[in-house]
């Protein structure tokens, strides 16, 4: 009688744990982070909030006058390194229409 | 006789379990009932029976077109890991503009270009959804910009104050700013 008594709650606990595991599927929102590194270079890393990387995704550096200063694509490691432009600029991580992240030059962390 | 005595449950806990186990199981069956109101409210919200969203923002005129906007949830932005805080909006295009509008975008602040128009609405034109990232440094007087792109290549924009679009977000920003 005792072994049965302990088996059932264990099964119930396992079921409850399973319910916790299959939570609602999350959207994968684009994200991008840029950091200033040595020699006036900037390194940007792109990705999605579900943890996936973004190799080959377009990342453009655009001037405030809308001219494209650095047309780029992220490398296999989802990063792109470029020289900091002299004029005012922003970084546009462009994974398709409506799937973009803009980073203003003021928001790029110094090394 | 002695055999029957040996089979008696020993601990108090064991005796309680044997006496009440059927009643406890019936109580367990009642637990899901407590979640029913939320379940039915959500089912009705996602089916569209209770409108576009939890809180209607109203109709916004965007050039020759218009769309009806609503907050999916009347609550503060939800965190989405490293992507930051997100707020979901729903929209419905006006009946006459469904055939003319190619895409609808949402952004906090005026977009720099059509390419950077913000997040795109997806879904049926009668009930589209967009999840907008809310930067933590958003000001209380920020504006929500709606960009509509037509199949003919035209682009029209309109803005409404964020305080009108989502008072819950403004309250959340004020609370975070105070920290």
The complex scores an ipTM of 0.72
Domain range annotation of chain A? 30-104
Phi first, then psi, for residue B127 (nearest 5°) are -165, 85
Q: B83 and A99: CB-CB below 8 Å?
A: no
Interface size A-B, in CB pairs within 8 Å, comes to: 48
Q: Are residues B64 and B111 in the same domain?
A: yes
Query: Do the Cβ atoms of A89 and A75 come closer than 8 Å?
Result: no
Q: Is residue B37 domain-shared with residue B70, that is, in the same domain?
A: no
Give the mean model confidence (pLDDT) for residues A13-37: 69
Q: How far apart are CA A86 and CA A99, in angstroms?
A: 27
- What pLDDT does residue A14 have? 61
Instruction: Using CA coordinates, name the residue in chain B closest to A104.
Output: B112
Residues of chain B with Cβ-Cβ distance to A23 below 8 Å are none
Per-residue pLDDT averaged across A70-97, rounded? 92
Q: Are residues B169 and B86 in the same domain?
A: yes
Contact A90 B81 (CB under 8 A): no
Work out the minimum CA distance from B74 to partner chain A, whole angstroms: 19
Residue of chain A whose Cα is closest to the Cα of B116: A100
B83 plus B97 within the same structural domain:
yes
Q: In this structure, are B31 and B108 located in the same domain? A: no
Instruction: Tell if the CB–CB gap between B82 and A31 is shorter than 8 Å.
Output: yes
Is residue B93 domain-resident?
yes
Number of domains present in the structure of chain B: 2
Is-above-0.90 flag for pTM?
Answer: no
Q: Print the domain residue range for B41.
A: 11-50
Percent of chain A with pLDDT over 70: 75
Mean pLDDT confidence for A73-99: 92
Q: Sort out which chain B residues have CB atoms less than 8 A from A99's CB and list them.
A: 119-120
Shared domain check, B65 and B44: no
Same domain, B38 and B86: no
Tokens of A97: 């229409």
**What does the alpha-carbon distance between residue B23 and residue B20 come to, in Å, rounded to a whole number?**
5
Does residue B167 belong to any structural domain of this protein? yes
Nearest to A82 by CA among A111, A61, A102, A65: A61
Q: Average of pLDDT values for A16-42? A: 73
Q: How far is B66 from chain A (nearest CA, A)?
A: 20
Whether B61 maps to a domain, the answer reads yes
CB contact under 8 A, B105 and A98: yes
B39 touches chain A (CB under 8 A): no
B119 touching chain A per CB within 8 A? yes
pLDDT at A102 over 70: yes
Where is B66: in which H helix or E strand? strand B65-71
* pLDDT of B136: 87
CA within 13 Å, CB half, A5:
10
Alpha-carbon distance of B23 to A45, in angstroms, equals: 57
The tokens for A50 are: 């579900």
Residue B159, domain member (yes or no): yes
Contact of B98 with B67, CB cutoff 8 Å:
no
Tell me, yes or no, whether B152 and B88 share the same domain: yes
The stretches in chain B having pLDDT less than 70 are: 1-9, 178-179
- For A30-104, the fitting CATH number among 2.60.40.3080, 3.40.50.970, 3.30.1490.270, 3.40.50.740 is 2.60.40.3080
Kindly report the CATH number assigned to the domain that includes residue B164. 2.60.40
Within a domain: residue B106?
Answer: yes
Q: Are residues B127 and B153 in the same domain?
A: yes
Same domain, B123 and B36: no
Residue percentage of chain A with pLDDT more than 90: 53
Q: Is residue B1 part of a domain?
A: no
Task: Identify the residue among B46, B78, B115, B120 best suited for mutation to test binding to A, counting A beta carbons within 10 A and taking the highest.
Answer: B115
Query: Mutate which of A6, A29, A104 to disrupt the B interface (most B C-beta within 10 Å)?
Result: A29
Regarding beta strands B143-150 and B155-161, do their DSSP bridges make them parallel or antiparallel, or are they unpaired?
Answer: antiparallel
Average pLDDT of span A65-74: 91
> Mean pLDDT throughout A57-86?
92
User: How is residue B83 annotated by DSSP?
Assistant: G
> Is pLDDT at A22 greater than 50 in this prediction?
no
Average pLDDT of chain A to the nearest whole number: 82
| Residue A9, pLDDT score | 62
pLDDT of res. A24 = 44
Q: What is the pLDDT of residue A26?
A: 54
Q: Quick check: is B4 in a domain? A: no
pLDDT attached to residue A69: 92
Q: Does residue B15 lie in a domain region?
A: yes
Q: Are residues B164 and B86 in the same domain?
A: yes
Residues B46 and B76 placed together within one structural domain of the fold? no
């Amino acid at each position: 009688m005792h072994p049965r008594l302990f088996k059932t709650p264990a099964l119930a606990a396992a079921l409850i744990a399973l319910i916790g595991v299959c939570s609602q599927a999350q959207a994968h929102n684009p994200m991008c982070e840029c950091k200033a590194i040595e020699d006036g270079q900037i390194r940007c890393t792109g990705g999605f909030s579900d943890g996936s990387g973004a190799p080959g995704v377009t990342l453009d550096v655009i001037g405030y006058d809308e001219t494209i200063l650095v047309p780029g694509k992220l490398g296999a490691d989802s990063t792109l390194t470029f020289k900091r432009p002299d004029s005012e600029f922003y970084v546009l991580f462009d994974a398709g229409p409506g799937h973009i992240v803009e980073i203003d030059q003021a928001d790029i962390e110094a090394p | 006789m002695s055999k029957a005595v040996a089979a008696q449950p020993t601990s108090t806990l064991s005796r309680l379990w044997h006496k009440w186990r059927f009643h406890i199981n019936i109580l367990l069956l009642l637990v899901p009932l407590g979640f029913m109101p939320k379940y039915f409210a959500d089912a009705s919200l996602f089916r569209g029976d209770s409108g576009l969203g939890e809180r209607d923002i109203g109709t916004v005129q965007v050039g020759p077109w218009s769309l009806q906007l609503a907050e999916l949830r009347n609550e503060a932005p939800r965190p989405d890991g490293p992507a930051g805080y997100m707020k979901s909006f729903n929209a419905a295009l006006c009946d006459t503009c469904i055939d003319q509008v190619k895409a609808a975008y949402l952004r906090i602040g005026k977009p720099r270009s059509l390419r950077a128009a913000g997040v795109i609405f997806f879904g049926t034109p009668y009930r589209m959804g967009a999840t907008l990232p809310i930067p933590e440094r958003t000001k209380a007087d920020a504006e929500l910009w709606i960009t509509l792109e037509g199949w003919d290549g035209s682009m029209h924009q309109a803005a409404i104050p964020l305080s009108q679009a989502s008072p819950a977000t403004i309250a959340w920003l004020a609370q975070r700013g105070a920290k």
